[in-house]
Structure 1
Amino acid sequence: METIYLAGGCLWGVQAFLKTLPGVEFTEAGRANGSSYTLEGDYDGYAECVKTEFAPDVITVSGLMEYLFEIIDPYSLNQQGPDMGEKYRTGVYSESLEHLAEAKAFLREREDYGAIMVEVLPLTNYIKSAEEHQDRLDKYPDDYCHIPKGLLYKYKR
């Protein structure tokens, strides 16, 4: 199993989507690559993300990114759907240099590479979200999500 952290706007929908994909074995809602955190819940600079454990013999980093591009607007800076702000930026974070190289290669292969706003960076820190955010759309299927329901469960296993 390998681990990568994927940011695509509000983490509720991203987690619901990712956990339906072939080769994804575990997901956890969280926040990555921020500058500071307080016990009051202030996450300065953090991106909402999903810790994603996957089987590399079933799905690659490029494969995960292909799927991610189905649910994000890769040209939008700090916004997905109506959610606006730095915490809703799109990104790929990992402790693995191989993962980062593959993610960057995926982006460079696109004709519109220069316009893409998806950041690819080493993981500098990660905070697991509170339990109320874990698998939120499983608990409350009619709760808010910026991803259309038709896409959310397109690959449901």
Structure 2
Amino acid sequence: MSQATIATFAAGCFWGVEDRFRQFPGVIDVTSGYTGGHVDHPDYRQVCTGTTGHAEAVEVQFDPTRIGYDELVRAFFAMHDPTTPNRQGPDVGTQYRSAIFVHDETQRETAERIKAEIQPQLPAPIVTEITDAGPFWPAEDYHQRYLEKRRAGVR
């Protein structure tokens, strides 16, 4: 196996986003967490206040020989509404914003290109921010694989 590469996305509540990315062949692991804010080691309660600047996000480890970053970016845009600022479904607040946190210039160029390709297909402007990745703080254990655990009857 080649070395894993990291991609970081925010598309609303991380439970569904994490679950969807886990389904892709070539995705090695997905971690729910917080990024894009100004507080070190935030917890869920703090992030929910909207005062830390963090987004609920997922860190996707993937094998680039099996799945490309461009495929992950396209999946990201397809799994949520990138035209609603600070909202996905019933979840409202800056912690639910749409964002791609890029780890290098190649990821930035790919994300910008795909965003521009998708825009004409949507009825409103894409509000997804594309910004440099910063520290990623894993969410509490009970948030990891949340939907998977619920399907298995684990509480």
TM range (shorter): 0.7 to 0.9
Secondary structure class of the residue paired with 1:138: helix
| Aligned-residue offset at 1:22 | 1.9
Instruction: Answer yes or no: is 1:27 the counterpart of 2:30.
Output: yes
- Of 103-112 and 21-30, deviating more is 103-112
Task: Determine the structure 1 residue equivalent to 2:67.
Answer: 59
Query: Taking structure 1 as reference, are residues 140 and 94 closer, same or farther at Cα in structure 2, changes over 3 Å only?
Result: same
2:26 is the counterpart of 1:18? no
Match of 1:50 among 35, 52, 58: 58
TM normalised by structure 1 equals 0.83
Alpha-carbon RMSD: 2.1
Once residues 70 and 105 of structure 2 are traced to their aligned partners in structure 1, the CA distance between those partners, rounded to angstroms, is 14
Secondary structure at the residue paired with 1:25? strand
Cα distance in 1 for residues equivalent to 2:44 and 2:12: 22
Q: Deviations over 1:101-152 (max 9, x none)?
A: 1111111223438810111110122111010100001111399xxxxxxxxx
Identity across aligned pairs (percent)? 27
Deviates more, 1:124-133 or 1:107-116: 107-116
Alignment gaps of 5+ in structure 1: 144-157
Range 40-49 or range 125-134, more displaced? 40-49
What's the offset of the Cα at 1:56? 1.4
Asked whether the 8 Å contact 1:2–1:53 carries over to 2, the reply is yes
Structure 1 position 83 matched with structure 2 position 86: no
User: What amino acid maps onto 2:30 in structure 1?
Assistant: T
Q: Does 1:9 align with 2:17?
A: no
What is residue 107 of structure 2 aligned with on the other side? 99
TM-score with structure 2 setting the length = 0.84
Q: How many residues align?
A: 143
SS of the residue corresponding to residue 64 of structure 2 reads coil
Contact preservation (8 Å) 1:3, 1:94? no
- For structure 2, the 5+ residue unaligned runs are none
- Which whole-Å CA distance do the structure 1 matches of 2:43 and 2:16 have between them? 25
Residues 141 and 115 of structure 1: is their aligned pair in 2 closer, same or farther, counting only changes over 3 Å?
A: same
* Alpha-carbon separation, structure 1, partners of 2:119 and 2:149: 39
- Whichever residue aligns with residue 94 of structure 1, its letter is V
